Amino acid sequence: MSDALKGSDGALRCPWALSTEDYVTYHDEEWGRPVHGDDELYERLCLEAFQSGLSWITILRRREGFRTAFAGFKISEVATFTDADKERLLADPGIIRNRAKIEATVANARVLTEWAPGELDELIWSFAPDPTTRPAPKALADVPAVTDESKALSKALKKQGIRFVGPTTAYALMQACGLVNDHLADCVARGATR
């Protein structure tokens, strides 16, 4: 028996997606679809770090505020942020005002400016498991919070100096960016992710 539930349009979806229209849109159009590009993956990495300890809807509803505050998550621009920029961010109600997460976002950009173009994309995607070895989850209980791959990705990123990326955050990144397909087996979005 599947945990997928019918939405107002009659389509079956992962149950977490049905609580708000924002979630339905994110679930149907973005979550689990492959994301490539250093800046694009840096944005997702930062947002997942900011989400730690909070609900994803809090981040999703402030996403445009985050994009404005962090220069569209352009690594080269965020890397130049000064202490004054950090203070500005701490006063910005459009984002989550957490000093440690803001510091990590800027520090991570500085680390990534030392990498070759495409290196972040290559590193993250090198941890994508073989999809043929992962059966489609039927129930939410079948979806892990951490995997061996997310532990390895977290370790690899930390080894390179990237902060605020534990195994659970790394797995959420893998789910959001399409490295794994954790849409439930009966979910309308499952087949649309690749």
Q: What residues act catalytically? A: 26, 48, 56
Q: Residue 194 has what pLDDT?
A: 53
Q: Residue 90 has what pLDDT?
A: 98
Beta-carbon neighbour count of residue 156 at 10 Å? 16
Of 25, 23, 26, 63, which Cα lies nearest the Cα of 46? 63
Average pLDDT, consecutive stretches of 10 residues, N- to C-terminus, the chain (194 residues): 88 94 96 97 98 95 98 98 98 97 98 98 97 92 96 98 97 97 96 68
Q: Residue 2 has what pLDDT?
A: 80
Beta-carbon neighbour count of residue 117 at 10 Å? 10
One-letter identity of residue 114: E
- 3-class secondary structure per residue, 30-60: CCCCCCCCHHHHHHHHHHHHHHCCCCHHHHH
Give the pair of three-digit tokens for residue 87. Answer: 């203070």
Residues facing residue 6 across a β-bridge: 12
